[in-house]
Structure 1
Amino acid sequence: MQFQVMNSPFTQEQAELLNRLLPSLTEAQKVWLSGYLTATSQSAATAEAPEAPAPLAPEASQAVSEAPPISKEVTILYGSQTGNAQSLAENAGKTLEGKGFEVTVSSMSDFKPKNLKKVENLLIIVSTHGEGEPPDNAISFHEFLHGRRAPKLDDLRFSVLALGDTSYEFFCQTGKEFDQRLQDLGGTRLYDRVDCDLDFDEPAAEWLEGVIAGLNQGQGGSIEATPSATVAAPQAVETNYSRSNPFQAEVLENINLNGRGSNKETRHLELSLEGSGLVYEPGDSLGVYPVNDPALVSELLEELKWNPDETVEVKGENLTLKEALTKNFEITVLSKPLLEKATGFSDNENLNELLAPGNEDKAKEYINGRDLIDLVRDFGPWNASPQEFVSILRKIPARLYSISSSLNAYPDEVHLTIGAVRYEAHGRERNGVCSILCSERLQPGDTVPVYVQNNQNFKLPENPETPIIMVGPGTGIAPFRSFMQEREEIGAEGKSWVFFGEQHFVTDFLYQTEWQNWLSEGVLTKMDVAFSRDTDEKVYVQHRMLENSKELFQWLQEGAVFYVCGDEKKMAHDVHSTLIEIIEKEGGMSREKAEEYLADMQQQKRYQRDVY
C-alpha cells in the first residue's frame, strides 16, 4: 500500500518518507518496529492516564484478561559436529541474557527430552552432517522428537537456525526436519527458520534479530527494545583473532611425510601463532582460508574473454577481476543454487532443461566433479558483466583441519597434517584448493590466514587415567598425535591404544618414529597398523579391530573412550559397524542391545567422532 494524505493521517512529507522506507525493511525490522511502536504507545498511554481510567469495552477487557503472560525463559539447544552451531548458540545466549531473558544453552545430547513439555520458548541451532544426517550430538534428540513418544507442544514458541553447505544435495536437511516436526507437534514459530550456507555470519545475525523481535512481541515493553542493528553474529564483534578476523600465521615448516615412490603426498605444516593470542586444545581444528590456483583463474578468465584488470566491487572494496576470483570467490565447486542463479545470464536451453522438474538426478550428476569453468564452457554464451557474474558466486570458504599438535608441547605453534588432493574428472585434472596450495605454493616464510575452531565434541577425557582407543587411518591420525603429545606433557597414566592404516608400511607410515618412541617409553600402550597394499588381501583398521575384539571390548568395559577420525562415508561407517559387531559378539548381546550399548557410550561422550 502506498501512503497518501487522503488515505492516512500523515502529512505529504511523512507519507513520502514512509513510502521510501517501508519497502526497504526486512521482515525482522518490520516485526521489531511493530513491537517498538506498541511498547512506546503503551508507555505513553500509562503516563498520561487519568486517575480514574474509563472502563474497557467488554470485548477488550476479556482479551486483556485472557492474554497469557509470555515467559522470559528461553532454551537454546544446539546440534554441532565441528563447533559452529555451539558457538552460535552460546553467543545467542549471551545476547539474550543481556536483554533480560533467562537463558539455558545446552547440547541436544545433554538435554532431557522429558523436559521439552515445560519449555515455552525454544531456539534450535543445528548443522547438517554427511548426506542430510544430524550431527552426532543431535541424533538421540532427533530420534526422540520424530518418535512416537514426542509430546504435543501446543504451548511452545520456537525458531530454527539451520547450518549447511549448498554444495550438498540435502542442504540444511536436519534443521528443516526439526522445524517441520516442531510445527507438526503443535508449536508456533516465533520467527521463520533461516538456512545458512558456509558464510553464516550475516544470516545468523538477521535470524537473531528476528528472534529477539518475536520474543519481545507481547512483552508489553518489559523487555528492553534495543534496535536490531546492535545484534551481531558470533565472533563478528570480537577484538581478538577469529573466523571473521583471521590471523596471518607464518609458515615455519612444510614437509612431505610420505617416502619416495608413494602414491600419496601428505604435508606436515608447522605454523607460528606468536603474537596472536590464539589458544587451542587437543581435538580442536584450525580453519585455513585458501586462495584459488592462479592458473585456474587465468583459464576461467580466458574462457570468459574478460580483462583480468577490470575492476569489480566486492563488499565495498574495489578489486581487479583476477584478484577477486583468486582471493574471494569459490570457483572449484558447483551447486544447484549457483546453476539456478546462472540461468539469468544464459539463453542456453540445455541449462534450463537440466534444472527442469523431474531432472534432479541429472542435475546432481552434472554438478558432481565439475567446476565453474565447466559451467561456463557448457552453457554459454553468457549475457553478464563481470560484476553481475561475480555477484552470483559464493565466498570461498575456509577449510577445517584437525590440529596435530599440543600447545603444551609446542607453545606458539600449531601443526597440521594435510593430504594433497589430486584427481581426474570429466576429462580434466582437478586439485583440492587448500591442499594443493599447501603442497605446491606455500613456502616457509609465507603467511596464511587462520583461526581456531573449538570442538567440544572431540576431547580427551577429564580424568587422565581413563583409557582411550583411537582409530585414525591416513590423515585421520592428526588429532591423535595431538592427544599423545598432550598426555606425554601432563604425564597421563591411563592406557592408550591406536589403530592406524595406510597403503604401504615403507612409504606411508605417518609419524612412524614418534609412534615408536611413545610405545617404547610407555606413553602409548598398544598400536595396531594395517597397510592395505602390502598384502594380497587388503587389510584395513576395522580388520585389526576384529582381530583384537576380546581385548577391545574389555577396554570398553573398563570405561575406555573410543575415538574415530577420518573419512565418514567409508571408513567411519565400517568402523561403526565393526564396533557394534564386537560389542554384540564379546558382550553376548543381541544386535539391538549392542546398538543401545554404543548409543549409551555416545551419550556419555565415550564414543566421539571427528569425521568428514
Structure 2
Amino acid sequence: MTQSQSEKKDIPVNIYRPNNPFVGKCISNEVLVRPGAQGDTRHVKFDLSGGDLRYLEGQSIGIVPPGEDKNGKPHKLRLYSIASTRHGDDGDDKTISLSVKRLEYKHPETGETVLGVCSNHICDLKPGDEVKITGPVGKEMLLPDDPTATIIMIATGTGIAPFRAFLWRMFKETHPDYKFKGLAWLFFGVPTDSALLYKPDLEWLAYKHKKHFRLDKAISREQKNEKGEKMYIQNRMAEYADELWDLFQKPNTHTYMCGLRGMEDGIAEFMVSTAAKNGTEWKVFEKQMKSEGRWHVETY
C-alpha cells in the first residue's frame, strides 16, 4: 500500500491504552487442534459491545493478563494478531477473535515446566470471564484496497490469524463496497495435519472459490519434499517458484508473512535462489517491494 493510500484509510490505532484498557468478556473458547496435535491452540472470541474498540484486518490487540510479575509490577500486555474481520465472527461489529497457542516449555536450567503468563490466561478463559484489551495496533499487515490484487500469504501455526481475517472478508462476507476478484494464495506450514488450524473452513473456501483462492499446505512431519526430507513451507513454495516469481513482478501483488520468526530464514533462502535463477539479487528486489509497500512481515 502506498503512503497516500494509508493516509486515506481511516486506520484505528490505540483506542484503548494499557493504563485504561477496554474490559471485554469472553464469549467462547474453542479448541482448534485435533487429536494427535502437539500443544493446545484456541479460537477465543470476545464481546466488544459497550466500548469503542474497532479494528481492521491485519491489526493486533494487546491483552493484559491479571496479577503481578515476580517484581510485584502488573504484567505487561502481549500482542496478538486479530483472527476476525472488522465485523467480527458474528458479522455484527460487536466481537473480536484471536488464535492463541498455550505456551508451555521446560526451563533450560531447572527443567521445570514454565507456562506463558498471557497465553495460558487466554486459553483458560471461560464464557463470561472478563479480559483487558488494548489497541488496536499495526499498519504493516493491512490489505490493499484493490479488489483485483494478488494476495500471497505465508503462515506457520497461529500466524494464520490475520489471513483468516483476510479470507473471511474476501469470501465469507458480502460488502456493498468491496468484492474480491483477485487471487488469494495461502501457503500454510504446520507439523501435523491435526495441527492445521481452521482446516474445514479453509478447504471449503478453496473448493468453493477455485478461481480466486488457492491453498497449499506444508506438513513437515507427514510430507516429504523432492529430496525426501521434511516438507517445510519454503519447499512447498519452491514447487511453484516460476509462477510465484511472475506474480511478484506484478505491481498489485502483495506478499504477507506471519508466524514464528524462525520461518523467515527458510523463506529468505527460497527467495534468494528464485531471484538468482531470474538474474536478480533478492535483497535488492525485497527492498524494492518494501518501498512499494508490497512486502509485509509480522513474525514473533
For normalisation by structure 2, the TM-score amounts to 0.86
Q: Aligned to 1:542, which of 234, 248, 252?
A: 234
Instruction: Give the Cα–Cα distance (whole angstroms) in 2 for the partners of residues 478 and 604 of structure 1.
Output: 24
- In structure 2, relative to structure 1, the CA distance for the partners of 1:473 and 1:276 (3 Å cut) is same
Match of 1:310 in 2: none
Find 1:413's aligned residue among 95, 99, 112: 95
Q: Does 1:398 align with 2:90?
A: no
Aligned equivalent of 2:48: 273
Letter in 2 for 1:262: A
Cα deviation, residue 394, structure 1: 4.9
Q: Distance in 1 between matches of 2:161 and 2:276?
A: 30
Task: Report the 3-state secondary structure (helix = DSSP H, G, I; strand = E; otherwise coil) of the residue aligned with 1:485.
Answer: helix
Specify the alignment match of 2:196 in structure 1: 509
**Cα 1:584–1:466, aligned 2, differ >3 Å: closer, same or farther?**
same
What amino acid sits opposite 2:295 in the alignment? Y
Match of 2:207 in 1: 520
Matched residues, number:
274
Distance in 2, matches of 1:400 and 1:556, equals: 30
2:10 matched residue in structure 1: none
Q: What do the CA deviations read for 1:539-597 (whole angstroms, capped 9, x no partner)? A: 111111111101111111223111000111x1122212322322221x232xxx33211
Q: Which has the higher contact order (CA 8 A, sep 6+)?
A: 2
Trace 1:170-249 onto structure 2 (pairs within 5 A).
Answer: 241-249=16-24
| Superposed displacement of residue 408, structure 1 | 2.8
Separation (CA, whole Å) in 1 of partners of 2:209 and 2:37: 30
Matched residue, 2:128? 445
Instruction: Choose from 596, 600, 603 the match for 2:284.
Output: 596
1:481 matched to which residue of 2? 164
Amino acid at match of 1:407: R
Q: Partners in 1 of 2:18 and 2:276 — Cα distance?
A: 43
Among residues 245, 255, 258, which one is paired with 2:33 in the alignment? Answer: 258
Q: How many angstroms apart in 2 are the aligned matches of 1:474 and 1:501?
A: 7
Instruction: Tell me which structure has the larger Cα radius of gyration.
Output: 1
Query: Does the aligned pair in 2 maintain the 1:241–1:276 contact within 8 Å?
Result: no
Partner of residue 181, structure 2: 493
Whole-angstrom distance in 2 between the partners of 1:437 and 1:483: 26
The answer for the alignment partner of 1:435 in structure 2 is 119
Distance 2:159 2:270 in 1: 18
1:496–1:526 CA contact under 8 A, matched in 2: yes
- Structure 1: distance between partners of 2:60 and 2:94: 15
Amino acid at match of 1:604: E
User: AA paired with 2:129?
Assistant: D
Equivalent pair of 1:565/1:572 in contact (CA under 8 Å) = no
Contact persistence 1:458–1:610 (CA under 8 A): yes
Measured in 2, the distance between the counterparts of 1:544 and 1:606 equals 21
The 5-angstrom pairing of residues 53-452 of structure 1 reads 241-291=16-66, 327=67, 329-331=68-70, 390=71, 394-408=73-87, 410=91, 411-425=93-107, 426-439=110-123, 441-452=124-135
Does the 8 Å contact 1:258/1:266 carry over to 2? yes
Q: Could you tell me the percent identity over the aligned residues?
A: 30
User: 1:509: Cα distance to partner?
Assistant: 1.4
d(CA) in 2 for partners of 1:535, 1:609: 26
In structure 1, distance between residues paired with 2:165 and 2:183: 16
Separation of aligned partners in 1, 2:50 and 2:144: 30
Q: CA RMSD in A?
A: 2.0
The answer to whether the 8 A contact 2:87-2:94 is kept is no
Deviation per residue, 1:192-218 (Å, 9 max, x gap): xxxxxxxxxxxxxxxxxxxxxxxxxxx
Q: 2:270 aligns with which of 578, 584, 587?
A: 578
Asked whether the 8 Å contact 1:562–1:607 carries over to 2, the reply is yes
Residue 555 (str. 1) matches residue 242 (str. 2)? no
CA separation in 2, counterparts of 1:243 and 1:484? 30
Give the C-alpha shift of residue 535 in structure 1.
3.5
Give the SS at the match of 2:216: strand
Letter in structure 1 aligned against 2:258: C
Determine if contact 2:148/2:183 at 8 Å carries over to the other structure: yes
Give the Å deviation of 1:442.
1.2
Q: Distance in 1 between matches of 2:120 and 2:18?
A: 22
How far apart, CA to CA, are the structure 1 residues paired with 2:48 and 2:125?
A: 17
Amino acid aligned to 2:203: Q
Task: Classify the secondary structure of the residue corresponding to 1:396.
Answer: coil
TM-score (norm 1): 0.43
1:369-423, Cα deviation, whole Å (9 max, x unpaired): xxxxxxxxxxxxxxxxxxxxx4xx5542101000000023532110100011111
Summarize deviations over 1:124-171 as a string: whole Å, max 9, x none: xxxxxxxxxxxxxxxxxxxxxxxxxxxxxxxxxxxxxxxxxxxxxxxx
Q: Residue deviations 1:485-541, cap 9 Å, x none?
A: 122333211111000011111x11110111112212217521110111114631111
Unaligned runs of 5+ in 2: 7-12
